[in-house]
Structure formats: C-alpha cells, structure tokens
Amino acid sequence: MEKLNDFYEAVSDTNNYVRNLKTSGKKVLGYLCSYTPEEIIFAAGIHPVRLFGTVGNITLADAHLQSYACSLARGVLESALSGELDYLAGMVFPHTCDTIQRLSDIWRLNTKFGFFADVVLPVKLNTESAKEYMEDILQKFRSDLEEGMGVTITDRALEESIEKYNRIRGCLKTIYELHSTDPDILTGSDLHAIVKGSMIMDRDYLLERLPEIIEMLKERKPSTGTGRKRIIMVGSICDHPDVYTIIEKSGGVVVWDDLCTGSRYFEGLTGTEGNPVKAIASRYIERQICPAKHISNTARGDGIVEIVRKNNARGVIFLLLKFCDPHYFDYPYMKGFLDREDIPSILLEIEDQLPSEGQLMTRFETFIHML
C-alpha cells in the first residue's frame, strides 16, 4: 500500500530508521519480548525499539551460542556484536525462556551499550504473591532505569505514557479487527509492516499515523469477497512478511494471530486509575499469555479455540522458530484442542529464513484446500 511507505522504510531498514531518531536527540533502548514494560521506558523520555536480529551469516554469535539456540537469539547477538546496533544506549531483558535468559548473561558480559537491565518477571501469574512480585519487580526496573539513565520518572509521566500506549495498542487492535472483518482492505504484508513498525517507530508519530490509517481503511469500499480461507497464525515472532503473501497466493488469508509480534503485543489495555506501575503489572497478568509463563494448564489451548471461533476462521498455522522450547511443548496439546473442535492445523518450522516459496506454496495450498 503506497500510503504505508513510512512503515515499510522503518521495518526494512530498522537500523537506519533508529539511527536517525538517535541523531535527532533520542536515547534508544533495545528489547526482545512483549513483556518489556515499554510504558516505563517511554515515560523516561527514552525510545524503546524491538530488535529482530541479523538474518543469515551468523559468525560472531557462533563463538557464544551453540547451533541449538534459536535463530532469534543468535541473530540478535550477531547484530549486537557486529556493531550494527551502535545507536543503542542499552538493553532490557525481561525474563522469558531459558535461551533468552542465557542470552542476557552473554549480552551483559560481551557488549558495551551502557545501560543493561534484567527484569526478572514471575513465571507464574496466577497467585497473589506473583502479582505483588510483578509490581515490585517493575517498580525496581523503574528505579534501575532512573538511576542508570540519570532520569526521573514521575507518576504523571507514567500515566501519560500509559495513555499513549493504550491509544497505540487500541489502534492496532482496531486495524486487526477491520482486517478480520474484511481481509481485502489490507494485505497481510501491509498489516505486518504496521504492527512491526509500531514496535520500532517514534511512538508520538504513530499516534498521528495509526488513526489516519484507520480512517483510510474505513473509507475503502467493502470487497465482494474473494472466498479466501480464513486462517489464524500461532507462534512467537513472525518476521516474515512474505509468508502472508504466500498464504494469500495459496488461497488463504491470516485474519488474526497469537503471536508475540502480533496480538500478544497489543491485546489488553492498561488501567488508568490508581498506581500506574500496578496497572502495568495487571495488564501482564490478564493479557493473552506467552507459553513461557503460566496462568493455568489449558489457557493457551482454550485461547486458540476461542480466537478461531471469534474470527470465524477455518484453520490454524503454527509458525514456530526451530529450538523454541516453550512453543514446541505447547504444540501437541494445542493441536489436540483444535482437533477436538475439528479445526485443521499445520506446523511450519522455520529458522531465520523461510523455505523456498515453491515449497511453501505446495504445503499451504494442500492445507488450504482441505479447509
């Protein structure tokens, strides 16, 4: 879509985009996970940017991570060691999985970006003590950030930040909903650029642009329907806009997802009453869960069935990064829950690069014909 050039530029050359932001006077902190308390970083006047890592040609990271670490961990470490993240003033690691946990150590011991913080969030989210700990640890991060970056984060600034993030997340959700209602108004690759761009671009700029995009989408003429099969995508990160295009060419369309770089990023708004840090903690507890955390034994299985129903979808594609333990442990049971409801699914294992288009087309076409 022509009117999304700014998003495409930011996602295709993120380093260049963020370097320019830095030149204009912004400090930048990197992160990898949707449990990163961006609101706190933003309230400190710092620009949070999600990193996706170098694709292909891993050499420097090989000296620190075995081949059985996922491509995200290896790619991000490669980009840190190669110097291409020179614009970073620091890095924030919320506790996620075993691999990212060790990546954090390796990062701390082998890079020099200035600020560094582990935010060791609770792993279980279903008890009172875990909720209290979540608040405590976010509050600790707030002080660590104040001290480490030499800033003050007032409650007022936090409240403003939360309000802005709620608007950004609300806009992304609206765009997803408009697209789910009429998938022809926007290609999957456009939608990917918008959501990925929202984790990279200047947040105040997004606050102007996202509502414009919504207006533009609302003005589009409703399509007469192309009969494409409606699909849900599940996984951790999806940094492959091509995959959406290939699915579309194969007669399907992704109408919603359960991705860390998708709905898990924007689902759930933060409360605006009372203690702002407590409100951020509450959102993490209530939000759709990442498989590295625990809220109940069946939350993700029930969740995926509900997403399929709500979006009137026909099938599910699990797009999982090779070596991603939390997702691979959940896959058989989530598939089981879908099978029970007669919802077909397929698993696509990917590394940093997608298989060839021809190979993917064949797999997707076969699957989509079945639906």
Q: Is residue 346 within the footprint of other proteins (CB under 8 A)?
A: no
For residue 239, give both structure tokens. 């940094």
Task: Give the residue from 115, 223, 205, 217 showing the smallest Cα distance to 164.
Answer: 205
Helix (H) or strand (E) holding 91: strand 90-94
CB 231 within 8 A of CB 252: yes
By CB under 8 A, the residues from 35 to 74 that bind other proteins are 63-66, 68-69, 73
Q: Is residue 112 within the footprint of other proteins (CB under 8 A)?
A: no
- Residues in the interface with other proteins (CB under 8 A) total 51
Nearer to other proteins, 133 or 163 (CB): 133
CA 306/CA 299 separation, integer angstroms: 10
Nearer to other proteins, 24 or 297 (CB): 297
Among 156, 310, 322, 369, binds other proteins (CB under 8 A): 322
Among 228, 264, 314, 335, binds other proteins (CB under 8 A): 335
Inter-CA distances, 129 with 57, 96, 126, 252, Å: 44, 19, 9, 44
Among 12, 56, 57, 136, binds other proteins (CB under 8 A): 136
Q: Which stretch binds other proteins (CB under 8 A): 1-9, 128-136, 161-169, 209-217?
A: 128-136
Q: How many CB atoms lie within 10 A of CB 103?
A: 25
DSSP string, 139-185: HHHHHHHHHHHT----HHHHHHHHHHHHHHHHHHHHHHHHHHH-GGG
CB of 101: closest distance to other proteins in angstroms? 6
Nearer to other proteins, 120 or 214 (CB): 120
Q: How many CB atoms lie within 10 A of CB 289?
A: 19
Q: Would you call 252 helix, strand, or coil by DSSP?
A: strand
CB of 77: closest distance to other proteins in angstroms? 11
Among 19, 26, 173, 294, binds other proteins (CB under 8 A): 294
Q: Is residue 118 within the footprint of other proteins (CB under 8 A)?
A: yes
Within 8 A by CB and 6+ apart from 37, the residues are 94, 119, 138, 141, 280
C-alpha angle 170-176-181 in degrees, rounded to nearest 5: 125
Helix (H) or strand (E) holding 254: strand 252-258
CA 323/CA 63 separation, integer angstroms: 18
Q: Which stretch binds other proteins (CB under 8 A): 20-28, 93-101, 183-191, 208-216?
A: 93-101
For residue 224, give both structure tokens. 């007469």
Among 103, 201, 243, 279, binds other proteins (CB under 8 A): 103
CB of 15: closest distance to other proteins in angstroms? 26
CB of 236: closest distance to other proteins in angstroms? 13
For residue 31, give both structure tokens. 């992160």
Nearer to other proteins, 71 or 166 (CB): 71
Within 8 A by CB and 6+ apart from 303, the residues are 258, 288, 289
CB of 96: closest distance to other proteins in angstroms? 8
Q: Which stretch binds other proteins (CB under 8 A): 12-20, 100-108, 204-212, 308-316?
A: 100-108
Among 3, 124, 310, 369, binds other proteins (CB under 8 A): 124
CB 236 within 8 A of CB 258: no
Q: Is residue 298 within the footprint of other proteins (CB under 8 A)?
A: yes
Task: Give the residue from 296, 268, 273 showing the smallest Cα distance to 283.
Answer: 268
Q: Is residue 333 within the footprint of other proteins (CB under 8 A)?
A: yes
Q: Would you call 143 helix, strand, or coil by DSSP?
A: helix
CB of 300: closest distance to other proteins in angstroms? 10
Q: Is residue 302 within the footprint of other proteins (CB under 8 A)?
A: no
Q: Is residue 284 within the footprint of other proteins (CB under 8 A)?
A: no
Binding positions for other proteins, rule: CB under 8 A? 63-66, 68-69, 73, 95, 97-99, 101-106, 108-110, 118, 120, 122-124, 127, 129-130, 132-133, 136-137, 140, 291-292, 294, 297-298, 322-323, 325-326, 328-333, 335, 347, 349
